[in-house]
Structure formats: structure tokens, C-alpha cells
Amino acid sequence: MASKKYSFLLGLLSLVTVSASQAQTGSSTVYRGSGYDTNDTALIPLRRMDQQRDFLNRNYDYPAKPRNQWELGFGIGALNVSGDINSKNITNTTKGNSLNTMAWNISLRKAWGYVISTRLQYMHGAATGYSWQHSQSHTLQANNPYQQAYGTDLAYYSYKTQVRELSLQMIASLNNIKFHRAQNKMSTYGLFGIGGLAYATMNDIQNGSTGAYNFANTAAIQNANGTNLGGNWINGYKSARKLVNTDLKGLFDGDYETAAERQYNRATASSKYTLRPVAMTGMGIQFRLGKRVSFGIEDKVTFTMDDLIDGQRWQEVSISQNGGLVKSALSSSFDNINNLSLNLGINLGAKSVAPLWWLNPMDFAYNELSTGRRVGNISKPNPCDLDSDGDGVSDCFDKCNDTPLGVAVDTKGCCLDTDGDGVCDYKDKQMITPTECQPVDADGIGHCPDPACCKNPGQGSVCGGINSGNIQFSNGSTKLSGSTMSQLSNLASQMRNSPSCNVVVAGNGTSKLEQQRSWMRVKAVIDYMQSQGIDRDRFCFEYGQSGSANSVDYHVASSNEPCGTPPPPPHPNLK
């Protein structure tokens, strides 16, 4: 029954693969390059649309990552246990049954980048195995069913393990970044994952209704061919193994009626399955058959941290001693599960590109360099090869591609505007126009407002619009915070409204370290004020005052306070 089931699954998998391959071959669509238009906003998810708009407006050099398809996977293959007993198929010719070590799996995979993807996978299968060498190590295990059935007599182990595994795996694609080819028709990858394993192991001990197997004849065959070696141990070993295997295949009925020993001696547990946390690793290779179908081969090893997957906790080997075969029981070791599978992948999702592990992230850059951007089916010249205004900046980077010949430009290809008044330097008749005198006329000449004392004579001090205050710094820090920058922006606005008034900036601290730190804090304040358009000469630089060590105070300067020339740092080598 098991053989028919897995044969049906394998045939179905092959049929779907061939059909998909033929359908793709007959299609008139040719897969080239990245397989999608980077200007197509329908492929971009809403959360990345801002980046895509900036890219289309040429304010950002990188297109947004497109929405990519999910992969639904199906697989079938061989399942083997690496443990104390050899894992192999058993075909009983006399009883007409075939017991297979096979498994099938279903998975769902999603790419989060061009290299990393994750996969949720469920695997279901069975593994069988038997030992061609007789054993007595079951006498060391009180809960071993062979010990209860055979006592100290010799026995040949035979088991079947049912396996259910659910895991979450991280997969790293290894070859989709290509510098010399656009397409990626083959994908190699490595995987690592964690999950849960449920297994149930049964032994074939009873020979139908007649009781335990009688292995006397089998043991005699092994002893006769394993001890009378004629000086050639290797040939005798092979001969014994072949004859014993033939005898066992005709003896075992494959019923697997006896529960094997379980982890933690849970022989009376209500469920026959044992649950274990597991980890796995593996390698695989995929071949792309079309835009939505792929076929692959994968080998995965599951680490169980369990020694009873095959029902036995002692590993035994045969060694040569004085020309004969001698049994030797070794210490127990953990059993691992190996699954070699053939897999079919089907991509799911509309308005999405292929899974990113099939795309070459270098494709967009190479297309930009070689052909430029395309609109519909009409190719435009590559803007990176042109410099329309001759300013030395390529058209693909030039934000102002109509600059007059000979005019100095910045890195974006736009004319220089030193004072930021909106009039290019080559037109500006007043190269440095104070901020308070802007906006300017067409020639770049500003109109400075009259001082407040002249507008409203006799109505208070000209500098009354500038408030005193202090700037707080974190302990030991000389950097301005966001709130202090906002406070200084208000001070800058006040100073622009009172252009004839100066301000004292005083740092506090009396020790050598505090004096140096106060000097650096005052400099940070004045540097920021200069970035707001306030001339440095309007500040009086003071440090090492007696106020709070973590603050810098400021107030309107009096007529007798010298300003404009900052003092040198007091202790420049003090860290």
C-alpha cells in the first residue's frame, strides 16, 4: 500500500513538471534580464511608494523593491535514519510485500531580499531498516522489547519509523548576483532551520501468530561464513552479509507489531509519537522551467538529539580477531534523519515579479549604463553619455541642463548661488546679501529694513526683542540636542530682527576639564548660529564662568563687551 501511494505521488509530480515545462516552452514570452520594468508602479507595494516616486522624479537613484511572488513547493524522495541500525528498504519476495523508506513534503517560501528567504515546510514519511548482524546488546536495556522477547539469545533488529516534521527554515541563495549574465536559470542555496519532530518507531519481532522469530538458521549462516574465512576476512565478511541479507528478507514479514523503546522510557504514553525539538541544515539546487515553475534537488539533514529514532540506543560493529568476526557494543550516539528529495516549485501572486532569488540585482544598473531608461517601445539615448549644456555634469545627474556655457555650477549641474538669495552668482550684483535684507530684486540686491529705533523713536531699547536664556547639555556632551537647536533657531530669528545687536554666549565650568568643555560648547552654539545666517562677529565668546557646569548662557551684549574674535581654547590637548 505504501509503495503504491508513493509511486502515485512521484508520477503526479513528474506529470505536473513535464506539463509545466511544455507550457512554458510553447509560450511566446521570452524571459530576459530582470523580467520587470522598474518604472512600473503597479509592482510596488504601498509602503515603498514614496521611494518609487522619488526614483521616477530622479530625486533618488534606486528603484523601490518590487512585490515578489510566493513559492508553493511539493517534494518526494528518500528518507533515511543515520543511527545504530542500517537504514534500508526491505523487499520480502516470499511474502510479496515491499517496504519503502520515502517521504513527501509541502512548503511555502518567501523572499525578503535577493539572497535571504524563509520557508515553512511540513514533511511526512517513513524509514525502515534492519541489521544483518546478530546482536545481544538488548540485554543491557530493561525497556527494550528484544530483551523481553529473546532474553540473552541472539536477535536481528528490524524497525520502521513514522516521521512528522514541521520546520521554519532560512535559505540563502548563493549565485543570483551575476556580473556577466542577466538571467539566472539555476539557483543553488543553503538552508538552516529549527522545528519540531514527531516520530513513532515499531519493531518487527513477532512472526505472525507463531511468536518471536527463530533466528537459529540465520545465525548459523552468519557464523559459518563469518568464521571459516580461510585467511581472507574481507571476502568472508561480504559473503556472510550477502547470505544473511537473503535469509532475513525471506524471514521478516514487515508487520512491525511491537512498539520500540521510547525516549525517557515512556512506553505507556497515551500517544505512540515522541515529540522532539530539532535543527536542520542542507543544500539544494533549482532549475527554472518557466516564469512560474521550477524543479529542484535537495538534501536535508535533521539533527534530533535523540538516540531512539531507530529504536536502539546501542551501536554495534563487527571486528576481526584471530581470523573471525567478533561483536563489539559501543557507546550510544544521537540518530539523525536524512531526506533527499525531488521538488517542484510553483510561483503564486499577481502583479508581482518572480521570487527575488531568480532575479539579478545587478540587472537594473547594467541596463541603465548600457541603454538608459525606456519609454514604451521607443529607446532614448543614454543620458549618462550626454552633457547638453556643456557644464561638465552628465545629463543623468544634471538637475539644470540649460546652464549657460562657462557658468560655474555645483555637483548637480546648477549655477552657484553663494548667498542663497535665488539669483545665480553670474547675475548677482550683490554677491553677499544678508538674510534680513532678502528677498532681493532681479539683480540680487536686497532691501534692508530700518532699525526698530528709527521706525518707533523713543519706544524702548533696540535690543529689547532679544531674550536671555541658557542652553542645556547632557553630562559630558558637547553636542546640541534637537530641542536646543529649536531654541537657538528662535534666537537667530530675534537677532535677524535686531541686526545692530550683539549677543554674549558664555560657557560655565571652573576645573580644567570643565573649562575646555565650556569652550567647546560655546563654539558649538556659535557654529550653529552661523549656519542659521548670523555673522560670527555678532557674538561675544566667553567660557569658564561660574554658572551651572552643563549649561551655556546667552544675553544681549552691552556696549563695553568686546565681540567678534573668539579666544583660543584653554586646554586644547585635554581629552
Spans of all domains in the chain = 2-30+69-216+252-358, 452-556
Q: Which residues contact 72 (CB under 8 A, 6 or more apart)?
A: 106, 107, 108, 345, 346, 347, 348
Q: How far apart, in whole angstroms, are the C-alpha atoms of residue 30 and residue 19?
A: 18
Q: Which residues contact 4 (CB under 8 A, 6 or more apart)?
A: none
pTM of the model: 0.58
Tell which residue, 523, 460, 530, has the closest CA to residue 496.
530
- Cell numbers 541686526 correspond to 499
C-alpha cell at 514: 570643565
Tell which residue, 491, 501, 485, 496, has the closest CA to residue 468.
491
pLDDT for the residue 284: 96
pLDDT for the residue 215: 86
C-alpha cell at 245: 541479507
pLDDT for the residue 380: 56
Overall fold of domain 452-556: 60s Ribosomal Protein L30; Chain: A; (3.30.1330)
pLDDT for the residue 95: 43
The answer to whether 2-30+69-216+252-358 and 452-556 have equal CATH topology is: no
Omega prior to 439 cis, within 30 of 0: yes
Tell which residue, 178, 188, 190, 132, has the closest CA to residue 157.
132
Q: Report the relative pairing of strands 503-508 and 551-556 from DSSP bridges.
A: antiparallel
pLDDT for the residue 69: 94
Q: Please, is 187 exposed, middle or buried when counting C-beta atoms within 10 Å of its C-beta (0-12, 13-18, 19+)? A: buried
Overall fold of domain 2-30+69-216+252-358: Porin (2.40.160)
Q: How far apart, in whole angstroms, are the C-alpha atoms of residue 420 and residue 443?
A: 13
Residue type, 494: Q
pLDDT along the chain (575 residues), means of 10: 48 48 37 65 90 86 91 95 74 46 94 94 93 78 82 87 96 86 85 95 86 85 61 59 83 85 60 90 94 94 91 66 48 84 94 89 77 49 71 80 82 80 78 73 72 45 80 88 85 88 91 90 92 89 88 86 81 75
pLDDT for the residue 146: 86
pLDDT for the residue 264: 66
Q: In what order do the strands lie in the sheet with 503-508?
A: 469-472, 551-556, 503-508, 539-545
Tell which residue, 303, 270, 299, 273, has the closest CA to residue 284.
299
Contact status, residue 524 vs residue 516, Cβ threshold 8 Å? no
pLDDT for the residue 280: 97
Beta-sheet strands, E only, within 268-412: 274-288, 293-306, 316-321, 324-329, 335-348, 374-375, 378-379
pLDDT for the residue 248: 86
